[in-house]
Structure 1
């Protein structure tokens, strides 16, 4: 993406990718197909994680973290980032939560949620920044079977950025439905962070609902 200096127009180069979305096709796939597709996804995830970290948690080019949990209309950097330290990311989540409940006027609810301020940083621990797509739902994964192999493409990079290494797993764990075998395959190609994911799922309920 770039802006033309002469006219000010913003140009975005995109590619049309042919294939089926994994969410629609998943119930019809064989175990071998599922394993082959997930093996390809794992290659992509491993590649993203191999990109050398630039020393911050944030969006591309040291911008704010693009996930909704770090959105603040006023642009408060303590919530939006970018952040230099792992603990700053966790502090931002707590500040976002306090901001949400401050808007409701429910002082008792804010006080009750002080458990996050006391323990969230300890529970989530210290994790280096790694590049994460941050929305690896099946609807964002396309695949196409060829004679010799299966091609896979990941779309919708709106929330991508450099997050703590547990983030890719934990943020999807928050919304898993557990009504088929997808969670098991997801764990295989992303890698599990069960402690961090459990804490994030609890926090997710307060931030999202």
Structure 2
């Protein structure tokens, strides 16, 4: 299937030369290795994600910045080492801390500032990468891309059956899920809107009040676009609610940032729990 950028991709305007193979091999991981993926930084400018389980589609998803005001790390290179079966994404290093680490320190007014970053499938009419639609071998009826919302919902049911769910429960889901989840159009969705994937920097505040009080200003950059794609409009809220840790008051901010889809989220969470129980 067609990619949305020509691969391999190398940006022409770089802050400094791209890391060499030896620099990449010698770099220290900044996150634990996970399922054939490594993430590390080289110098002051670059974050590199590479491995056999890294999908270059994540880098393509980050070009959403060309059509939105969402702050996204710049992509400097997307390429593969076919001999080793390894993919590389070289992206902009974003200074600051994650929203996960800074959340307890933020004032109520700063928390109010945190905004929602704004076909059913991945870019380029490709399969969805979310675990809820994943199979070891390609199965379009489960992985997509899906031509309609009904097919998208049926993909959830088929995944449930594929993972060993009993047929009578699958039939129950097939009967009721379209009633609850239906009637939504596709929209480009991040798919993993959690505090850990939001980098935050405090900027100099402006005095926006007559009493001279300063209005907090936070610069936010959304990272980790691996599972992004065209999902139903309820999906961002459902994925976010499903991943909530229910610590601190992030749950209250989610309700302000995202349009609540409570009935959809409850059913969505039920199906996901059944899959992974």
Instruction: Specify the TM-score bucket, using the shorter chain as the normaliser.
Output: 0.7 to 0.9
Q: Which consecutive aligned stretches of 4+ in structure 1 deviate over 4 angstroms post-superposition?
A: 7-11
Q: Relative contact order: is structure 1 or structure 2 higher (C-alpha 8 Å, sep ≥ 6)?
A: 1
Aligned with 1:66: secondary structure?
Answer: coil
Q: Does residue 1:152 correspond to 2:220, yes or no?
A: yes
Aligned length: 187
- Residues 194 and 66 of structure 1: is their aligned pair in 2 closer, same or farther, counting only changes over 3 Å? same
Post-superposition CA distance 1:152-200 (Å, at most 9, x none) = 0011000000000000001121232333311110121121111101110
Aligned with 1:120: secondary structure?
Answer: helix
Aligned with 1:162: secondary structure?
Answer: strand
Tell me, in whole angstroms, the C-alpha distance in 2 between the residues paired with 1:11 and 1:181: 36
- Residues 173 and 11 of structure 1: is their aligned pair in 2 closer, same or farther, counting only changes over 3 Å? closer
Spell out the pairing of 1:51-130 with structure 2 (5 A cutoff): 56-101=119-164, 109-130=166-187
Tell me, in whole angstroms, the C-alpha distance in 2 between the residues paired with 1:168 and 1:181: 19
Q: Give the equivalent residue in structure 2 for 1:177.
A: 245
Q: Give the equivalent residue in structure 1 for 2:89.
A: 12
> Is residue 57–residue 82 contact of structure 1 (8 Å, CA) maintained in 2?
yes
Q: Give the equivalent residue in structure 2 for 1:3.
A: 8
> Is residue 133–residue 155 contact of structure 2 (8 Å, CA) maintained in 1?
yes
More helix by share: 1
More strand by share: 2
Alpha-carbon distance, 1:8 to partner: 6.5
Stretches of structure 1 that go unaligned for 5 or more consecutive residues are 46-55, 103-108
Q: Give the alignment's TM-score, normalised by structure 1.
A: 0.83
**TM-align CA RMSD:** 1.9
Larger Cα Rg: Structure 1 or Structure 2? 2
Aligned with 2:219: secondary structure?
Answer: strand
